[in-house]
A and B are shown apart, each in its own frame.
Chain A
Amino acid sequence: MKKNVLIVEDENTLASAIAAKLEISGFDVAKARSVEQAISYLEEIPKIDVIWLDHYLLGSENGLDFVHSVKNSEKWKGIPIFVVSNTATPDKIKSYMQLGVEKYYVKAEHRLEDIIKDIKKVA
């Protein structure tokens, strides 16, 4: 059974690249561009195995807000979250880690396949 990955990324090109690679790696993907969208996907799709999350998103809420919501929900708080963003502010990273995300990556420093390798470990 294919695992589902929810990609929360506002940049289309990046989202496409990520989706392509994930699919090649054997995942099913859903792409959301905003927290709102992501939440509705979570509600619609019965099972999400992994969340790929960027920090800056469309709309007023950002990745942190999304993580808050997810972790506060009984249904979803168990889903591992991988934050892949280009910002590397220590505060942000600390906040994400404190909320209990799986890992934080700086986009530009990592190859897709490395990240996906880590995802495969937990998914």
Chain B
Amino acid sequence: MIKNLNIFTRQMSLYGILSIFGIGLIIFVVIQFNTINKTLNNHVPNSVSNMSKASELNEIALFIRYYDEVLTQSTRNYALTGNTDWLNRYNKNVPLLDEMVKRAIRVSDGEDKALFASIDTVNQNLVAMEANSQTQATKGNLSGAISILDSPEYTSAKEIYEKALVTYVEKHGTSYDSVMSSSTKDVTDAIDYTNSVIYRASIITRVIILFIIIFMIVAGRYILLSITNPLKILTEATERIVKGDINQKVDIRAKDEIGTLAQQFNAMTEAIKKSRLSMDRELLEKTKSLDEKEKFMGDQRKAILNVLEDVESEKDKVSSEKDKTDTILQSIGDAVFVVDTEQKIILVNSVTEKISGLSPEQLIGKTYTDVLKFVFEDTKKINNKFMLDALKTGITQEMSNHTVIINNSGDEIPISDSAAPLKDKDGKVIGCVVVFRDVTKERQIDKAKTEFVSLASHQLRTPLSAINWYVEMLLAGDAGKLSAEQKNYVNEVYNGNKRMVDLVNSLLNVSRIGMGTFAVEPENVNICNICEDVIKELTPQIVAKKLSIIKEHEDKKLTIFADPKLMRIVMQNFLTNAVKYTPEKGIITASVFKIKAGSYPNVNSDSMLMKISDTGYGIPESQKEHIFEKLFRADNVREKDTEGTGLGLYIVKSIIEQSGGVVWFESKINKGTSFYATIPLKGMVKKEGNKELT
């Protein structure tokens, strides 16, 4: 039944029971006290009052006797002597006696009371008689005073008085001790009774208390266990669950909170079991899929490892390529540096460091114009155009001649070469590679060559000039008139000399072309006019050979920005060849017109085309490839004509190609030849050179 109460009720019940016991005990104790109280209040006081009463009466009686004696004596003595002292003493004690007697009456009861009442009466009587006596004494009637005292009335009253007292004394005097002892016995009895009551009560109280304690212990423990035992069961069950044993069922059937808890615990265990089962199932499934995934991952990992191996080997390859590239870069004899689109240096090689005098740390990352000072030799102004053009146009640019670099010691070092734009695979410019080299030596060599050529030309030309002029004077008759035959001979000399002069000029041109040192000074030139001039010069031969010249110029006013001297050389060459290598009565056609880019192979921009065609000997197939070579003359014309240096076409090719144009020919043996040369319409670029071609 206890188990069906909830814990609170149980506790409250226990407290309630304990309270009841407690109250019971208190009531019991109170009752006992009352008993004791009554005893004490009743017995003892009675006995004590009896005792006191008895003793008090005795005392009063004594006093009454005493006062009586005193009074008797005093009145008698007064009567005898008339001494007022005795009267004063009498008066003083009379009230005292009276008071005593009245007290005695009050205090006593029963017989005693009647006794003292009679004493009082007698006393009054005596007092009256004594008063008479005193009066007499006072009057001086001593004898009268005595007589009253000796009177039978007085004496009998006295006797009665005495008798009463004796009666009392007899009654009580001897029984004083018995009264005392009975009173004392009463008190003792009362005390004993009280003690026994107290003793009994204390025993009972102690027993009750003991009982309460035992009850408290037992009941308390029982209640406590009723809580802790199920809790222990629950705790153990929980521990087992924690350890892993899910199959726990707690058997607590109480209907209190513990019971509820136990039910919930069981329900929870069930739920855990269920969820555990489902989790196990899920886990199993997941493990299965995980295994599959792991296997898959394993395969993947293998694949990745393979890829990584490949990557590693590629990396090695790349790294070794890079090493190779670095080695190549460092072993390039020229200075190489690379900039990005913002002209910041990203790569340099050792030669760059050497020439500039700066370390890679000082160069890399900096804008190149801050550290590498390319300037024009003459103006000392920064030459940045070649780089900017390369970056902007995406076309390789050459540094103009007379560019120097100022190294970090302040020296000027003449350099040359080019800036080539770097492009990504979409063709966008991502940077620029600049290659340059110290051309000091080259310049010196160049200078030496130039001086040599200059000197050679001077040395060669001097005798030629002498011959020229003397022969001229001869022919002019300045040294006397010549015979026809003399004139012929001298003419041969003159012609021979002229050829020499041409050859020397050609050789000088070739050497200048070879050195790249000829100047280009373009102006707006009319090619057709040049063509006309050259044709005019050749008129004697044309007439002599009866050749027909046809001019097919698209636009007689066509001008192009070109060096007139160079254009003249080209025209001269083509036309002279045409005239030379066409037999009598042949036809030579000269045409100048504009063409569009792409209309002929290798012609990449809109250009001006010069075309000279003839109906001459043509060029043998086998020798076509050599036509533009230095000093080459095809066999077929060498047989026919021993003149010709073989240098002309080489010079023409150099000029045209350096001007950005294209030169080619078509020919059929014994049918004729057509020579073509183009100049881009944008014209020639001015080039400073040491010499002009002659």
Question: For the complex, what is the distance from the CA of A85 to the CA of B465, rounded to whole Å?
Answer: 10
Q: How far is the CB of A105 from chain B (nearest CB, A)?
A: 10
| Interface flag for A14 (CB, 8 Å) | yes
**Counting CB contacts under 8 A, is B273 at the interface?**
no
Q: Name the contact of A87 in the complex, choosing from B454, B470, B473 (C-beta under 8 A).
A: B454
Known A-B contacts A14-B469, A87-B457, A108-B468; the reply to A113 vs B476 at CB < 8 A is yes
A13 touches B466 (CB 8 A): yes
CA distance A53 to B469 in the complex (A): 16
* B466 interface neighbour in A11, A87, A106, Cβ under 8 Å: A11
Q: Using an 8 Å CB-CB cutoff, how does the interface string of A38-67 with B read, 1 for contact, 0 for none?
A: 000000000000000000100000000000
- B457 with A86: CB separation less than 8 A: yes
Which stretch in A17-25, A26-34, A74-82 binds the other chain?
A: A17-25
Q: How large is the interface on A (under 10, 10 to 19, 20 to 34, 35 or more residues)?
A: 20 to 34
* A84-112 contact mask (Cβ, 8 Å, vs B): 1 or 0: 01111111000000000000001111011
Q: For the complex, what is the distance from the CA of A111 to the CA of B494, rounded to whole Å?
A: 11
Other-chain contact of A89, B454, B466, B501 (Cβ < 8 Å): B454
Contact between chains at B473 and A112 (CB < 8 Å): yes
A87–B460 Cα gap in the complex (Å)? 11
With a CB–CB cut-off of 8 A, which chain A residues contact B463? Answer: 13
B473–A90 touching, CB < 8 Å:
no
On whether the beta carbons of B462 and A89 are closer than 8 Å, the reply is no
* A21, A86, A88, A90: the one within 8 Å of B465 (CB): A86
A21 to B476: give the CA distance in the assembly, Å: 10
Which of B465, B470, B472, B689 is the most central at the interface, judged by chain A CB atoms within 10 Å of its CB?
B465
Residue numbers in A under 8 Å from B690 (CB-CB): 89-91
**Among the listed B461, B472, B689, which residue makes an inter-chain contact with A86, where contact means beta carbons less than 8 Å apart?**
B461
Question: CB-nearest residue of chain A relative to B470?
Answer: A17
Residues of B contacting A24 in the complex (Cβ-Cβ under 8 angstroms) = 473, 478
A18 to chain B, nearest CB (A): 7
- Contacting A at CB under 8 A, from B673-694, are 689-692, 694
Q: Closest approach, in angstroms, between the C-beta of B508 and any C-beta of chain A?
A: 9
CB-CB nearest in chain B for A14: B466
Contact call B469/A21, Cβ cutoff below 8 A: yes
Contacts of B505 in A (CB 8 A): 108
Q: Which chain B residues (441-498) contact chain A, with CB distance < 8 Å?
A: 454, 457-458, 461-466, 468-470, 472-473, 476, 478
Q: Which B-chain residue is minimally distant from A23 (CB atoms)? A: B478
The answer to whether A90 touches B458, judged by C-beta atoms less than 8 angstroms apart, is: no
Q: Complex: how many Å from CA A90 to CA B466?
A: 23
The residue of chain B having its C-beta at the shortest distance from the C-beta of A17 within the complex is B469
Residues of A within 8 Å of B472, CB to CB, are 111-113
| CB-CB nearest in chain B for A25 | B478
Which residues of chain B from 119 to 160 have a CB within 8 Å of any chain A CB?
A: none
Confirm or deny: B519 has a beta carbon within 8 angstroms of a beta carbon on chain A.
yes
Confirm or deny: B94 has a beta carbon within 8 angstroms of a beta carbon on chain A: no
Main secondary structure of the interface of A (DSSP, over half): helix
Q: Which residue of A lies closest to B461 (CB)?
A: A86
- Contact of B504 with A by CB under 8 A: yes
B contact residues around A90 at 8 Å (CB): 519, 689-692
Complex: chain A residue closest to B473, CB-CB: A21
Cβ-defined contact, A56 with B458, below 8 A: yes
Contact of A20 among B465, B468, B473, B504 (CB under 8 A): B473
> Cβ of B469: which chain A residues have Cβ within 8 Å of it?
14, 17-18, 21, 111-112
Given contacts A21-B478, A87-B458, A90-B689, contact A108 B473 (CB under 8 A): no
Chain B residue at minimal CB-CB distance from A89: B691
Question: How many Å from the CB of A1 to the closest CB on chain B?
Answer: 23
- Give the CA-CA distance A81 to B515 in the complex, in Å: 33
When distances are taken between beta carbons in the complex, the residues of chain A under 8 Å from B473 are: 17, 20-21, 24, 112
A106 to B690, CA, bound (A): 16
Contacts of A13 in B (CB 8 A): 463, 466, 470
Determine if A86 and B462 form an interchain contact, defined as CB atoms under 8 angstroms apart. yes
Contact flags B645-657 to A (C-beta < 8 A → 1, else 0): 0000000000000
- List chain B residues, Cβ under 8 A from A14: 462, 465-466, 469
Nearest-CB residue, chain A, relative to B476: A113
Q: Which residues of B contact A107 (CB under 8 A)?
A: 461-462, 465, 468
A115 to chain B, nearest CB (A): 10
CB distance from B345 to the nearest CB of A (A): 36
**Chain A proximity of B152: nearest CB distance (Å):** 210
Could you tell me the distance in whole angstroms from the C-beta of A24 to the nearest C-beta in chain B? 5
> Nearest Cβ in chain A — how far from B675, in angstroms?
26
Q: How far is the CA of A6 from the CA of B689 in the complex (A)?
A: 33
Return B416 CB to nearest CB of chain A, in Å.
19
Closest B residue to A111 using CB positions: B472
CA distance A91 to B378 in the complex (A): 14
Minimum C-beta distance from B326 to chain A (A)? 44
CA distance A24 to B476 in the complex (A): 11
A14 CA to B690 CA, complexed, in Å:
27
Residues of A within 8 A of B689 (CB): 90
Q: Give the distance to chain B from A45, nearest Cβ to Cβ, in Å.
A: 24
Docked pose: A72 CA to B89 CA in angstroms: 194
CB of A20 within 8 A of CB of B478, answer yes
- Which of chain B's residues have a CB closer than 8 A to the CB of A20? 473, 478
Q: What is the interface of chain B, defined by CB distance below 8 A to chain A?
A: 454, 457-458, 461-466, 468-470, 472-473, 476, 478, 501, 504-505, 519, 689-692, 694
A and B contact pairs by CB, cutoff 8 A, 8 listed? A13-B470, A14-B466, A17-B470, A21-B469, A86-B458, A88-B691, A106-B694, A107-B461
Interface residues of A (CB under 8 A from B): 11, 13-14, 17-18, 20-21, 24, 56, 85-91, 106-109, 111-113
The 5 closest A-B pairs by CB, nearest first: A86-B461, A107-B465, A17-B469, A108-B461, A13-B466
